[in-house]
Structure formats: C-alpha cells, structure tokens
Amino acid sequence: MKFAAWTRNKEDLKAASSGGIFFELAKGIVSQGGQVAGVIMHGMKLQWNVTDDLDEIKRMRGSKYLWVNPLPAYQKICSTPSRQTLFVGLPCQVFGLKRYIRLKGIADKNITYVSLRCHGVISSKSFYDYIKWVSGIVKEPVTSVKFRKEWEKGAGLSINSANHRIPFFRPKIIKDYIKKRNVAKMCKTCTYDRNASDITLGDFWGCHLALKNRDGTSIMETNTWKGYTLFKSIAHKLHWKFVPRNLNDIPVNSDK
C-alpha cells in the first residue's frame, strides 16, 4: 500500500529530509524496547550507528548523499539478534544486510527493513575534491557539511569551517548529482529492488496537491505485513493519505 504522509510534530518535520517518517518509525521501535540502525555525521566523518538513544537517533535525521560502509551496523545487529531492530538504509544496504544475516545463519524476525528510494550517492572523489576546493576558498579546513532540504532553499549544501558558514544554493556538485554526472560507479548500473524491504520511504515533492504538505511530504510504501503493522502503530502520530490507484503514476522524486 502507498501513502503520502508527514509527521504531526513540527520540529521533527523541520529536521527531516521530507515528511519525518523515519523518526516516527524509530520512536515507535524504541518505545517497544528496540534499537535503530542509521547514519550519523560527526564533523566530516560519516558513520553507521545502532542505538536506542533518541538523541543519537535524532542525529540520523536528514539525507547525506554519500555511501557509508554498513558493515559495523551489520555486525552489531547480528550480535543482538533477539533485539527488535529498525534498519533504515539504501536498497543495496538492505540487500547486503539480508545476505549477511543469511550467511551467519541468524533469523531476522526481529528486524524491520526500511529502504530509502535512491537516486544514487555522490562519489567520494567528487565530494572530497569539492570540499578541498571550498577549503581553498575559505582558506581553512571545512569542519562540517549539511545537505539541505529540497523544499527549504532548493537543493543546496551548507558548509562550515572555523570562521565561515556558507550556504550553497544549487551548487555544481548538487546539479551534477541530480544529473547523475558525479554518482558512484556502482549507482550507474544499479538493479537493487527498493521494495525488497518491509517499508520503502521517499520524498514526495512532485505529488498531487491533494496529497501534499508544503513543509515536506514522504511517500511510504508498506511492502509486508510487518511493515504495515509498524505503520499502523505510529499512524496516529502522522498526517497520512492513501495514494489512490489513479494517482499512482504521478511523478515521485525518484528514478529508482
């Protein structure tokens, strides 16, 4: 089933990439005694984290358009197989976790898999060359980067160094990303199925006005009964609408 949805919590909506569904799902799992696997950014360092600490989970919010090796998260999840776990990742990372778990011979009944619709990731070389170029302009090292929300100020980046905070509105690196000129090699031939998960999440910028929230709308697909049950348990925290069949072909901000 497909839904257009966004959180009722205005602060969480602001911190999210689209409708803030990730954080509502995460809070739902934590309230049941579970843990959440996602990506956080420490300065310029991106890493996976598996935790039940809501302050840490808050740091997972927002899309970072780079690939981060999920192996540490796979290992932590496999060391706690009796724990309810929400794993949110790119389709290739969901595929990888399923395969890793199968190889380890562990049952995955306690894992809820969530895939993000995926346009691809920026290649590390393109990203770090760009950061080097910005460092050259500000004449000091870049200390952190924030990938901005599409609806807030266009597809941009905010780059910080010790003495500067530079918001880049539609910089070349993002324009190239949208046109897939600087995506990682593996993304050019990607065939991973975004619906091989319990839930699929994406941005619903292009959705019909009848389904839209101007502050951010997510598209959520429940692909399994487990996914639907989790959605039902948090539905009261969301504004949500079914995407009717006749609107199924409306453009979604994704080609995967």
Ligand X SMILES: Cc1cc2nc3c(=O)[nH]c(=O)nc-3n(C[C@H](O)[C@H](O)[C@H](O)COP(=O)(O)OP(=O)(O)OC[C@H]3O[C@@H](n4cnc5c(N)ncnc54)[C@H](O)[C@@H]3O)c2cc1C
DSSP states along 159-180: EEESS-EEEEES-HHHHHHHTT
Q: Binding of ligand X at residue 59 (CB under 6 A)?
A: no
Report the C-alpha gap between 231 and 199 in whole angstroms. 9
Q: Binding of ligand SF4 at residue 118 (CB under 6 A)?
A: yes
Q: What is the dihedral of CA 90, 91, 96, 98, to 10 degrees?
A: 120
Neighbours of 219 (CB within 10 A): 26
Q: Binding of ligand X at residue 18 (CB under 6 A)?
A: yes
Stretch that binds ligand SF4, among 31-39, 41-49, 114-122, 123-131 (CB under 6 A): 114-122
Stretch that binds ligand SF4, among 73-81, 90-98, 154-162, 244-252 (CB under 6 A): 90-98
Q: Binding of ligand X at residue 76 (CB under 6 A)?
A: no
Q: Could you tell me the strand order of the sheet in which 45-51 lies?
A: 45-51, 35-42, 85-89, 111-116, 199-203, 218-222, 2-7, 238-242
- Pick one of 186, 229, 242, 251: the residue that binds ligand SF4 (CB under 6 A): 186
Report the C-alpha gap between 139 and 163 in whole angstroms. 10
Q: Binding of ligand SF4 at residue 88 (CB under 6 A)?
A: no
- Pick one of 121, 122, 134, 211: the residue that binds ligand SF4 (CB under 6 A): 121
Q: Binding of ligand SF4 at residue 190 (CB under 6 A)?
A: yes
**Binding footprint of ligand X on the chain (CB under 6 A):** 16-23, 38-39, 60-66, 68, 88-90, 116-119, 121, 201-203, 218, 252-254
